[in-house]
Structure 1
Amino acid sequence: MEHPMPAKQLLATTLSLALYATATTGLAQQVSTEAPEEKEIRWYQIELLAFSQNVPNQAQEQWRTDIALAYPPNWQRLKQPLQLAPLAEDTEENTASAEEAAPSTDGNTPLGTDLEREPYYLLPEEQRELNNNARALARDKRYRVLFHESWRQPVVDIDNAPSLLIHGGEIYGEHQELEGSITISVARYLHLHTNLWLSEFTRNYGQNQQSWRQDSDSKDWPMLPIRPDLRKVESQDWMPLATQEDAWSGLTSLETEYDKILNQPYVLDQVVLLKQKRRMRSGELHFIDHPLVGLLIKITPYELPEEIEEETQLMDGDTALIPAAEATATP
């Protein structure tokens, strides 16, 4: 005759089974989430139109001078497509550059850049959608187009999204009227981060960099940062000990840099910062307004074309590209 299990032993057995089931379920969940499927990175075609606004009664506006202007460390330059351009002068340097850029005569080196597959390359004007908007702004004396370009790129999360360098308008020494960067990222929605500044310049006749406003509380405008793709790489030859000669050399270098600033042909007269975050909808035209500058931007989904497999065959002593589907093993 079997004796019933004591209550304490039954309770212990039940708890053990419950803990085992919980641990097994947790392990299964852990295993299922250890290797999540990678999300597909989507591509978009971006078009940005930036313009200045010459609106009456804005001259009396008092703009803040305590603003920080800086380029982010993770930046990306928008690139011109590789193409052969006519040379301005027939010099040895230009001739060498043309020879390097020219395609080979065997027909295997493509001319130019594959704009359908390579990101961050500027598209030709006929592939823009906002040309009519740009022409309308150009006809109105109240506006002046500073930047109008279109390109394609993959869009990722904000932690990995590069900041795209933007610059346009008239050139003043090492700077242009419009400078800064924009960042396009995606989380649940598309997001646009603007970090742009619009500057006005005055001829340097020996005056200092201070603003020309007459109020006694006026401060110096911030120093404009040099675009990161234009910065010169300086060698860092560190010395273990600083001698008096090294200290004097450093002081001379500072004086030289100060003289360089004074000898700039232009000084900064005014700068305004356009720093915003905006949620975007793909396929829609968005307008970002500011009293002195406006932005029109459109982000459109773009599908990368499928890759065509090709293999090389030797035919009659010549190299030809034949699609793999059409290639045969025997002639």
Structure 2
Amino acid sequence: MQATNRCSKPTLIGAALALAFTLLPATGAQAQDGQKDFYRAEIVILQRLVDPASVEEQMAGKQIEPSRNIEKSLWVEDANGRRSSDLKLAGRNELHLGRAASRLENSGNYRVLAAAGWYQSFPPNYDGSPMRVAIGDWLTGAQQKAVEGHIEIDRKRYLHVGVHLNHWQDGSAPEASAPAIEAGSTVEAPKAEGAGSIADMAENTQPVMAEPVPAELVTWIKETRRMRSEEIHFIDSPTIGVLVFFRKL
């Protein structure tokens, strides 16, 4: 019995040590995989300072896809300019894209609407959720921001960024039109019965007001592009643009 006890104790210790050393390399490999898929993501959204009326591509009549129920926010501002985001965003002065954004802004041709940077893991076959964007001027008639939409990041073999942004402006004022008169009909002269008859006629000939247009589409971006790390990518339309940068950590 004593010989059995002396043999069993070293055997158990050896088995425990073997199991521990077997687990350690796996844990290290998992940490390396986590670092390999970890990125610094940066997105800057710009508005090109041009008169919307000068844009050749007139899009006021374009049909817009119904708004998606997007729960996650990248950069959403309210009427007072207060920002909300579901990401922990870095300051603009910390961004790699900060200098590029400043150069564009200093040129006098662009206005920076949002500059976002954050850390996130993008493992292979990552299917990202759309992130809502609402920035720019506040359109009183439509009760919304001038630039609205969403941005989505996926990873298959490469990182892909899908930009879906609409640029809106205040709708044009409706024009008054005279009431239609059927062909062959006659308009009776006012009866000489005092001011009452003239008032009645004036009431019946009030101009017809068209329904106001709360907002008109200026341009949009609907594009998905493959991204390479350490390269600055620019996706744009005649009035808005998006700078994108990824750095693998």
Q: Could you tell me whether the CA contact under 8 Å between 2:138 and 2:144 is conserved in 1?
A: yes
**Which residue number corresponds to residue 175 of structure 1?**
144
Whether 1:77 aligns to 2:46 is no
TM-score by length of 1: 0.45
TM-score by length of 2: 0.58
Q: Which amino acid aligns with 1:132?
A: R
Q: Could you tell me whether the CA contact under 8 Å between 1:156 and 1:185 is conserved in 2?
A: no
Cα 1:292–1:158 shift into 2, 3 Å:
farther
**Which residue number corresponds to residue 285 of structure 1?**
232
TM-superposition CA deviations, 1:21-73 (whole Å, max 9, x none) = xxxxxxxxxxxxxxxx9995623221111112235784343226333234444
Task: Quote the offset at 1:301 in angstroms.
Answer: 1.8
Task: Quote the offset at 1:74 in angstroms.
Answer: 5.5
Structure 2 Cα separation of the partners of residues 76 and 287 of structure 1: 23
Pairwise mapping of residues 1-331 of structure 1 onto structure 2 (< 5 A)? 40=33, 42-55=37-50, 58-63=54-59, 65-73=61-69, 75-78=71-74, 120-156=87-123, 160-173=127-140, 174-202=143-171, 207=174, 267-302=214-249
Once the two structures are overlaid, the 10-residue window that deviates more, 65-74 or 280-289, is 65-74
- Cα RMSD of the aligned pairs, angstroms, is 3.3
Q: Which amino acid aligns with 2:152?
A: T
Structure 2 Cα separation of the partners of residues 156 and 271 of structure 1: 37
Matched positions, count: 171
Task: Quote the offset at 1:177 in angstroms.
Answer: 1.5
Structure 2 Cα separation of the partners of residues 291 and 79 of structure 1: 22
Structure 1 Cα separation of the partners of residues 124 and 218 of structure 2: 30
SS of equivalent residue, structure 2 residue 214: strand
- Counting strand residues as a fraction of each chain, which structure ranks higher? 2
SS of equivalent residue, structure 1 residue 182: strand
Task: Quote the offset at 1:271 in angstroms.
Answer: 3.6
Task: Quote the offset at 1:123 in angstroms.
Answer: 1.1
**Structure 1: gaps (5+ residues):** 1-36, 81-118, 209-261, 303-331
Once the two structures are overlaid, the 10-residue window that deviates more, 175-184 or 147-156, is 147-156
